[in-house]
Structures are given as structure tokens and as C-alpha cells.
Amino acid sequence: MVRLPRVAFGVRWPVLLLLLLHCAGAADWPTFRGDLQRSGFYESFPAGKLRLAWRKELWRELTGPRAEVIVADGRAFLGTYAGRMYAWDAATGEPLWSVETRGPIGHSSAYADGFLYFGSMDRRFRCVDAATGKERWSFEAAEGIWVAPCIAGKLVFFGDCSGIFHALAAETGEERWQCKTRRPILTTASMTEDGRRVIFASEDMVVRCLDVQDGKVQWESPKLPGLSVRDYAPVVAGDLVFLTTNPVKDFHAILEEHQRMLVERTGWSGKDQRYIPGTADDVSREQEFIAEYLKAHREEQTFHVFRVSDGSVPFIAPILYTGGLHNPPTPPCVNRATGEIFVQLRSAYGTWDGGGEVRPSTCFGKLDPKTGKVALLTHSYPSKEPDRPPGAKDTPWGTFAYIGDETQALSCAPGLLLSNHQGNLGHLELATGKLSSAFGKRDSYGGFYGPAAFGWEDKGGLEKAAAANQPYGVVNEWHGPARSIASVAGGRVYYHTGAQVLCFEPEK
């Protein structure tokens, strides 16, 4: 990895952008969330309508919903719970090779310098030739590996389920140093922008920042509230690092309590309790209230912010839980061209709609890295009804699905915010507020089968799916413990849902 100069975060500096987009370049998607800061940023997202280029079925093996399709050197890679790592031609989907392990592969691989790196629950971490699948070396950990690798220069970093964080030589697999924690490590590591520190979390609910050369601890966080910090990765933006945990309370209970709290404090007496008109001052006061509430009820805080430089806490962001099925909420995404930080949050003044079962008051915003305040994002309304109150239904169900008790993920590109939810990828044009669906549909396994095609369980959906020899209720279509974002490489979009790998390209 290129060692980066220190610059003020938010500076519009094209050189910094090029450095932050991993050394493999914009034509590749070589690592989890696109870069080692785990930004979830696309240098560009294909314009116009997308068409399906190719599709691969893996539902008999299942794929981890947290994992992304890694794309590099004209190949696409994804592992399965059956323990196989697959390689396909990135343009055509033609199978190239597969490697079998003896345990599930639950997360993403990573690519660097012609080699693919990945871990398995068989306790082995492997480096294989990306062109052939031939093993270069393997390393045996104390327990299984459930994270994506972090590769920086000549070192590769990962944690295992025994709680040991490893630094191996990328060329030989020789262990250079290790750091022992007190619980399994289920969180992928991230790299600081200067390339000198690696940051990860353990199930002991502690965040650690280590020197990449010798593993010396630079700082440790206090024990975080919550039950787990699994599956995602810290997101680094300048001197800030963001991490999410799940709550101690039952997820439906905390969603209901927070909803009631937000609505009651407004004094709103309208019929529709989901959407409440509010001014910028109303939003600011609400966020001050939320921050003070979380300060007094730390067990309910699930969005955490630390300074990269010393581990101190700069502010408590006014962000309440939205994770779904007791999962850690999706982390923020960072536009590396502008420095903008986008988050999911809850507000009584949110104006987003997602259908009858939506947890109300869920919305999106842009976080100020200096103050922690969040500017709420809004969307446009149909011209035929310009006078409707804020929050009135205005978009088809599933166009930009955002549901507080289900899992979704955020990513961004210049001028765009994207939301992955089940089989749907929706995007928001930031300049106009226009919402649209890039592809797929909620409840549809990417638009091919599922409840949208067969009906719900009480309407014969399971029987219809069985008769058609198609899956129903595939684990990673619904909540899952996490949700991956789409991968973008070479002008194509790669996404896996319902244990399918889908490749889309712009319509000609």
C-alpha cells in the first residue's frame, strides 16, 4: 500500500483520492468495501439503466451476506459456506477455477499483486495464484477465520476466532507478529490513511489500534456497550474512525422505544405519526436531545466514533439503532472526492418511506466530522402532488428501500448515495433528490424468485418454490447478520443476493 501524506480531511485533492483508491486501481475492486479505509466509495457508478450480464447460482452452498465479490485482473471471486472459493471471468461469468477448503468461507477475499488471500473456518488462511487457484502458501491459525483480509504493502492482517490478530508476510505466510485479545475476532481490520496503523475490534468489545510494523498497541478503547461488533469493519475518515455495535436490548423493543420517544417529544398531534414537519432548528434540537440521551444511556449507543491519533472520543453522534434482527447497524460510507460522510439514522423529521412494515422515522444524513451533527437528506416529490406534507408516500415500494428492522448497507459515488437492501440496489441523486432503482426488487432474490414471485409462507410460497426447484427463504436474502455493498469494477456492477452472484453492465 502507498504510504499517504497527512492532509486535512475534506480537502478536494485529486492526488489524495487516487492514493486512497487501493493501488490496484479503479478498474478493480480488490478488497472489502473498495479500499483499506473501508470507505464504500465508487470512483464512478455506471450511468443509465443496467442489464444482467451474467448470473451464477450458489444457493445450494450459500454465501455469506457480509461478503463482497472481489474483482481484479479480469476475474471475479467469491467463497461459499460449503468451503469453496470460486473464480469467474469478470466479463462473461465463465468458470475459471475453484479451491476447496474444509470449512465455511464466511467473508470476502482480497487481491494484491496477482494473488488472492482468504480465510476459512478450517483454521487455514490461504494465498493462491489468482490466475490458476494454485496454492502459494497457507497458514494455520488456532481457530477458524471469519473476516476479510487487510493487505498493506508486504503484510497481510486478519483475526481468528481464538482472539488472535495476525500479521503475516504476504509473500511467504511467515508470521511477523500477533496480538492476543480476550474473545473471537469477527471484525475485519482497516488501515489508517497514512498506512502506519491497523485498526480492528474483538468480541471483547474493545477497539484496538496497532502499529503495522511491530504490532505495538497505540491505543485501546474502553469496553463498548452492546453484544457484538461482528462482520463489518472500522471506517476511517481522516482522524476519525467509526464502528457500530448491536444493542443489549431486544432490537424490536429498542426500535419501538426510540420511535415513541422521538414522536412524543415533538408534541405532534397529526394523524400520521410517522412523518412530522420540522425546521432545521427542530432537527438540531432533536439531535442535541439524542446525543444527551445516549450519553445518559450508554447501553443503547450503537454508533461509535474515535480519533485515529489517540483513541479519544470527539463527540457522541445523534444516531439511534437501525440494524435489524439484532445486528450491528451498517457503517457509514465516505465520499473520498469530497470528504462527505453519509450515515443512516432515525429522526421524527425523516421523510423516507418504505412500505407498510417499515420502522418509521428512519432516514439518511450527512455527518459533520467536526461537530457530529447530521444534516438530513431529503428526496423529491412527484410534480402532480406538490403540496403534500413532508413524508407522504411518493416512491414505489422498494425503489430505495430503507427499513429500520432489516439489514441494509450504504455506499456512495460522486453525486450519488446508494442503498443495498435484500435484492435491491437503489440510488439517490444528491443534487436533485431523485430516487431510482439501479436493479432488483425487495423480496425478490435479485428479481428472479422468492416471495415477490411465489407469495408469502401463508400463501403457498414454500410449496411453489419447491415445485419449481428454486430456493425459498435463503438465509442471506433477508436480514442476515450484515449486508454487503455492491462491487464496481471495469464499468460493471457485481452483487450477490439469495446466494446468487449477479453481474450487471450498462444497457447498450
124-129 β-sheet, strand order: 110-112, 115-119, 124-129, 135-140
Secondary structure letter of residue 327 according to DSSP: P
Comparison of pLDDT for 403 and 49, the residue scoring more: 49
- 14-503: CATH number: 2.130.10.10
pLDDT tens across 449-462, in order? 776 666 766 778 78
Number of H helices, E strands in the chain: 5, 31
Kindly report the number of other CB atoms within 10 A of residue 470's CB atom. 18
Cβ(10)–Cβ(203) below 8 Å: no
pLDDT value of position 438? 86
What average pLDDT does the segment 431-460 reach?
76
Residue 18 pLDDT > 70, yes or no?
no
* Backbone φ and ψ of 446, nearest 5°: 80, 10
Q: Which of 351-355, 379-383, 432-436 has the highest mean pLDDT?
A: 432-436
Residue 132 pLDDT > 80, yes or no?
yes
Q: What is the dihedral of CA 394, 398, 401, 405, to 10 degrees?
A: 110
pLDDT value of position 2? 29
Task: Compute the distance between CA of residue 58 and CA of residue 55 in angstroms, rounded to an integer.
Answer: 10
Task: Compute the distance between CA of residue 149 and CA of residue 134 in angstroms, rounded to an integer.
Answer: 19
Residue 207 pLDDT > 70, yes or no?
yes
pLDDT tens across 53-62, in order? 999 999 889 8
Residue 39 pLDDT > 70, yes or no?
yes
pLDDT value of position 475? 58
Which letter, b or e, does each residue of 258-278 get, where b requires 16 or more Cβ atoms within 10 Å of its Cβ? bbeebbeebebeeeebbbbeb
Choose the weakest-confidence range: 78-82, 175-179, 390-394, 472-476.
390-394
Strand partners, 179: 165
Give me the residue label for grid cell 486512497: 20
Grid coordinates given for 355: 412500505
Q: How far is CA 277 from CA 142, 270, 282, 285, in A?
A: 55, 10, 9, 14
Name the residue among 261, 366, 242, 238 with its Cα closest to residue 313. Answer: 242
Length in residues, the chain: 508
Q: Is 325 left (phi over 0), alpha (psi -120 to 50) or beta?
A: left
pLDDT tens across 64-123, in order? 999 999 999 999 999 999 999 999 999 999 999 999 999 999 999 999 999 999 999 999
What average pLDDT does the segment 162-179 reach?
98
Task: Compute the distance between CA of residue 487 and CA of residue 418 in angstroms, rounded to an integer.
Answer: 12
Predicted TM-score of the model (pTM): 0.91
DSSP structure string for 184-206: ---S--EE-TTSSEEEEEETTTE
pLDDT tens across 378-416, in order? 877 554 444 444 544 445 556 777 777 888 899 999 999
Each domain of the chain, given as residue ranges in start order, spans 14-503
pLDDT value of position 396? 53
Choose the weakest-confidence range: 191-195, 326-330, 379-383.
379-383
Residue 15 pLDDT > 50, yes or no?
no
Give me the residue label for grid cell 420511535: 259
What average pLDDT does the segment 467-485 reach?
75
Task: Compute the distance between CA of residue 171 and CA of residue 164 in angstroms, rounded to an integer.
Answer: 21
